[in-house]
Structure 1
């Protein structure tokens, strides 16, 4: 089972495609997605410094596009390269700033709001006591 509890299958595409469509009289069944591992980007994907060193686009994607063009895949299929997605994440300002900076800003905001609340309470309390002392 996959992470989201949906079933998946790892198999030879040509054999599976032929077996699924052997009795169909018209149309054919197509897989929803392919997961293809390339050796050209694997050392980068497995490195600890992925966000600092990622370069968008796996050089193996053009070869994959040529292979998929020769296989019976529906036109309009989409190829998503995870190195492109990782390069977009690498330059996200929230990732660059880091969680420590965000937590620091949140802490300072809470501290300032608490201090303002304390000062307002002290002022109101002082005015109330001064009013009580007049009588």
Structure 2
């Protein structure tokens, strides 16, 4: 680069102090982007996709996915208020879906443990694979 293509004063060259008539302003303002209260809402798309693919009790994960996509669309269109509303709905549907996704396996484990405890404390032996195995098993559930 040659300096003659730029219009610098003769006493002001790049990376040096200028002694010309330009005066320094007392403050410097640096724009770092949007403020914290103006940041765009989250869309929770990955969380919604995981909840949709795993168990998906009562289609809660699918509803979360729909609102996540709506939130992303509204965010790209610049409608941040509607994007925030869709984001909040997606978050709550994801919370409900994740709760159910954790509750169903936990209930299955608890029922299995209770069944094993009941089988261990009941009198007699239960031969599930023998001749009377199914009848012995059904006696557990008869009143």
Please confirm whether the aligned pair reaches a TM-score higher than 0.5, indicating the same fold.
Answer: no
TM (normalized to structure 2)?
0.27
Between Structure 1 and Structure 2, whose CA radius of gyration is higher?
A: 2
TM-score by length of 1: 0.28
